[in-house]
A and B are shown apart, each in its own frame.
Chain A
Amino acid sequence: MNQQSSSYFDVIHPGILTTIQDLGRYGQSHLGLTSGGPADKQAFLWANRLLNNAENCPVLEVNFGGLKLIAKTATTIAVTGANAPLTINGHSKDSWRSHRVNPDDEIEIGFATQGCRAYLAVVAGLLVESQFNSVSTVIREKVGGMNGGSLKAGDHLFYEPSPKQPLYALYANDIPRYANSLTVRVVTGYQYDLFERSELAKFFSNEYQVSAQYDRMGYRLNGPAIQSNISQLLSEGICNGAIQVPPDGQPIVLSVDRQTIGGYPKLGSVLSLDLDLLMQTSQGAKVHFEPISIHYAHTLLHLAKAKYTDTKLIKVAL
């Protein structure tokens, strides 16, 4: 870590839950370590892209808001994700674009009104020592980020000093929309064929609500209970977005901080593009599930990738 550098953000208010994330920690499941990474990968990628950063640069994931930083030297930042008031020295600024900050500027991200996770990136990424090939913070495992935990007041977040560079913004049409009512697509799989057809019909035709238990590990939903006759399932590997059905029948969509293995029956997994949007919802959000084939899922992913690559940014005046 660049402890000698005088370029850093001084954390004045850490916010409710702010962590450092890169794309995640892979190839470490033999240690029982989960992936971590951004809960909303699309918003994370845009934050780095607005600065012309490499894809995997470490950024701040600001859950719910309440962050206040002071920049010690000039740099350029970009903020994406949840609709939360962004101010620099008290002046309101737009998200989904980059901003120049000067020495002693105060950067604040207030509380989110739509969506719940914002991303703050800095040119060339935050300088953080990686653990097991990633800086992603997984608090439950005490791994990554700032000593395995969330930001605390007084923390110093180092970055490379950077010269002025053009500023960019996303066209309004390209900005993801976070809604309190959404349909998420599900690639059916795992024990799907072992559920009764009537139970599957129930799951895919009813509305579920995000319960009070929603975090980076998973979203527990409330709605018509799904029965399963599947007993004695051996614990097995869980992928991102997997939908597990515990004995009470209330589905849980598992996400980036999930445990790597588990023994509840699963219906399949939420399409990553929709999981990003689900992870921006909070308690009370209404969710419908729609089954899709693996074939269609692959098509959607390739199209989304093509669109992302092709999206042009607006160059804004310095």
Chain B
Amino acid sequence: MQQVVHYPQIEIAGEGAVIIYLDKVASNTTIKKISQLKHSIARVLADSVVELVPSYASLLVIFDPIKTDYYAVKKVLSALLEEDTSEIESTHKTIELPVYYSLESGPDLQSLANRSGLSVEDVIEIHQKTIYHVYAIGFAPGFAFLGEVDKRIACPRLASPRAKVAKGSVGIADRQTAIYPNVSPGGWNLIGLCPQTLFDPNVAPYLTYQVGDSVKFDAITRDEFLALGGKL
């Protein structure tokens, strides 16, 4: 069943939720538009919106269905979507994160290199050369889905996920990369460790990046990793 879909699209999600689809695929431009739209909606519908969840190419708008209704919300959203957003405000930051890439800190680095037909050095070089964009934050607190990983080092998730992935682990799954902010189960291919605390619910600021921001990884040595408080 192939249907021609025109974007943007506003769909009902629930009794107090609509979802706006800006495109079929994720891109840097789309995620920045979504981030901008999120801020506009938060301003215009401050009284009735309770949550805004941006992710890849969509934005979920959760509202209080007693204070407002689907028809009123849709009308406001349609008007906001018609506004010219070609001028994207440059409020988005680029965050640099240090990563100790190695066989001891990245248990899947060798197998990923073998699978890709590249040397370990090449994999590291390719991974840290790309500037990534935060497409979504979720799965676990502070977990940012970053895209897009160079095709040459893209790699499917592990057939059986690990019960315990170390805090700070840098992983690749298909064409996405991410850092595990805390210990958790996980199935991504691990290639290094970041010594920085990304999310601690007891220590502000809680997270240095937002959806729409850019992230760059910088390779550091074992000594630098340890000096920055990293643990092996």
- Output the least CB separation between B79 and chain A (Å): 19
Q: How far is the CA of A229 from the CA of B52 in the complex (A)?
A: 28
Q: A141-B201, A229-B1 are in contact. Are A32 and B140 (CB under 8 A)?
A: yes
Q: Does A19 belong to the interface (CB within 8 Å)? A: no
Check if B12 sits within 8 Å of A236, measured CB to CB. no
Q: Does A241 belong to the interface (CB within 8 Å)? A: yes
**Cβ contact of A189, chosen from B14, B138, B139, cutoff 8 A:** B14
**Cβ contact of A196, chosen from B1, B11, B52, B69, cutoff 8 A:** B1
Q: How far is the CA of A30 from the CA of B131 in the complex (A)?
A: 21
- Output the least CB separation between B16 and chain A (Å): 7
Q: Does B122 belong to the interface (CB within 8 Å)? A: no
Check if B139 sits within 8 Å of A30, measured CB to CB. no
**A184 / chain B contacts, CB cutoff of 8 Å:** none
List A266-312 residues whose CB lies under 8 Å from chain B.
266, 268-269, 271-272, 294, 297-298, 301-302, 305
Q: How far is the CA of A188 from the CA of B50 in the complex (A)?
A: 21
**A236 / chain B contacts, CB cutoff of 8 Å:** 19, 53, 55-56, 58, 60
- Output the least CB separation between A214 and chain B (Å): 20
**A234 / chain B contacts, CB cutoff of 8 Å:** 25-26, 55-58
- Using a Cβ–Cβ cut-off of 8 Å, how many residues does chain B contribute to the interface with A? 42
Q: Does B65 belong to the interface (CB within 8 Å)? A: yes
**A31 / chain B contacts, CB cutoff of 8 Å:** 137, 141-142, 199, 206-207
Check if A239 sits within 8 Å of B57, measured CB to CB. no
**B69 / chain A contacts, CB cutoff of 8 Å:** 298
Q: A141-B201, A294-B70 are in contact. Are A235 and B15 (CB under 8 A)?
A: no
**B17 / chain A contacts, CB cutoff of 8 Å:** 189, 239, 269
Q: Does A204 belong to the interface (CB within 8 Å)? A: no
**B13 / chain A contacts, CB cutoff of 8 Å:** 189-190, 237, 239, 242, 266, 268-269
Q: How far is the CA of A302 from the CA of B69 in the complex (A)?
A: 11
Check if B66 sits within 8 Å of A301, measured CB to CB. yes
Which 9 residue pairs across A and B have the least CB separation, nearest first?
Answer: A237-B60, A237-B53, A269-B14, A189-B12, A261-B138, A239-B17, A234-B56, A297-B15, A239-B14
Q: What residues make up the interface of B, taking CB atoms closer than 8 Å to A?
A: 1, 11-17, 19, 25-26, 50-60, 62, 65-66, 69-70, 136-143, 145, 199, 201, 206-207, 210-211
Q: What residues make up the interface of A, taking CB atoms closer than 8 Å to B?
A: 26-27, 29-33, 35, 131-132, 140-143, 148, 187-190, 194, 196, 229, 234-242, 259-262, 266, 268-269, 271-272, 294, 297-298, 301-302, 305
Given contacts A29-B51, A298-B65, 19 further A-B contacts (CB under 8 A): A26-B50, A31-B199, A32-B142, A33-B141, A141-B140, A189-B13, A189-B17, A190-B11, A190-B12, A229-B1, A234-B56, A235-B56, A237-B53, A238-B53, A238-B60, A268-B13, A268-B14, A272-B16, A298-B15
